[in-house]
Chains A and B, each alone.
Chain A
Amino acid sequence: MEYQPTIVSFLCNWCSYTGADLAGTSRTKYAPNIRIVRVMCSGRVDPTFVMKAFREGADGVLICGCHPGDCHYHEGNYKCLRRYHLIRKYIEQMGISPERLRLEWISASEGKQFAELADEMTADLLKLGPVNIKNVLEEV
């Protein structure tokens, strides 16, 4: 079977999850490779979650939060942004291309943008090919 990447996506409850819902209600088609996990705030995204996703075989991880300044909890998205840069460095050291992790801001009205993002990331991951997670784990 042709390789299809799998993306685990963490969406904040207030903006991005609603945005993804909007993509649905407006019937905007996008790549089926994305699997959504709802969190209350992008600030809740623990590095362990990202590692777990890669460990379980995800080819990419997408974190979406409210636009800067829009966070329901004031600044959770900034906390996430800080952490995001660290996790990228970390996975790179583990041999996972940092491009496999993305952080994007999706508001509740950006259903279309969410769909485009899903397509774009799927296409990027197709180019990168699968993560050889076994090798990664062995090396570590």
Chain B
Amino acid sequence: MSYRIDPEFRKELGKFGVGSEWSECYHCGNCTATCPLTEEKILFPRKGIRMIQMGLKEKISAYVEPWLCYYCGDCTKTCPRDANPGELMMALRRYLTSVYDWTGLSRKFYTSKSWEFGFILFFAALVVALFSVFLPLRPDAEQMVNASGGVMINSLIAGMSPSTFVSVIEWGDWIMAMIVAGLLISNILNMFHKIVLSDHSVRVPLRAYFIGFWKLTFNFLTQARFSKCDNRNYWAGHLLLMTGYSIMFAVIVVLLPEFQTEEVNPWYHWQRLLGYYATFGILYFLIITAIGRIRRSDINLRFSHSTDWLFIIMLGLTTITGILVHIFRISGLPAATYYTYVIHLAVLVPMILVEVPFSKWSHLAYRPFAIYFSELKKAGKPRTADIGLAPAIS
């Protein structure tokens, strides 16, 4: 099978926010060799650069390796031509996100700011509108303070019982989770198709699907592969963020009735402790990353795409409004609690809708799946014949 080279591809990729430094690559292979994550048959970034230089679109769509890169920046630091392979991998991940996304929205979000902002503003407005029409603040909201002085959060809605309100929110949560999950899963299936199924040289034994599965789960939760990079701080940061996410997901979606109660639990209650941990984790990660991106201190934070900043801002706003809701609640300020709660949701909902299936956040899902898929491919690849060199140890 031969591939037609496509000189126009560089323009296409350019839309995903990468310069053309990579065209200076003269293929010394230093980047691949210096990377602590490459393996005998897992070759990046050089191979990716080669495909991009020649515009081999089909090959790129099936290229799983960018997801195995955690951008420690070693390749870029030592590149003898300053071709910036690390940033290219980053851009390639953005591009691949759009390739996997069958709706085409991801591509719109990455390549057009007006699309992205429009989408976010639309859903923010929708949340506000829904609340103002269907869930307005009750007139005597100031009374809704419980014995311990905290706001009874579920009783703030005019003409709606607390239990109804909780189930409305819970239903909302689940519906949104289903939409998002549906999109994400269909994208992952698309990714599976492009990476594993389209590669006819690979025949994955059924067994491999099960053996690899635990790796998927493990990596999803810990992002453990990241820890192989020389700089472990990034991994620690991601671990904090990831566990924070998981906890928040558990308490807000799965355990909402237990979480959003009328009583304000004492500070040592498990819910509050978990919540504080998660908030700290997310906030810590955000602050560190934002400072890094502003200072451009590390090589992997030197180039920031607009979507990177948007993600940081949205997540930051969500966290801050969440904290404010919490503060207003325990301070017994029902109206303030209500309004920040609405704002909180008006930020959170569009953020999840944009980021999880279409943008930045999705890489947290694609990465462990990429590891899973590459394991599948490894299991399904016929062993290459000995090339005649002295044995290589990997």
A and B directly contacting (CB within 8 A):
no
B interface, CB within 8 angstroms of A:
none
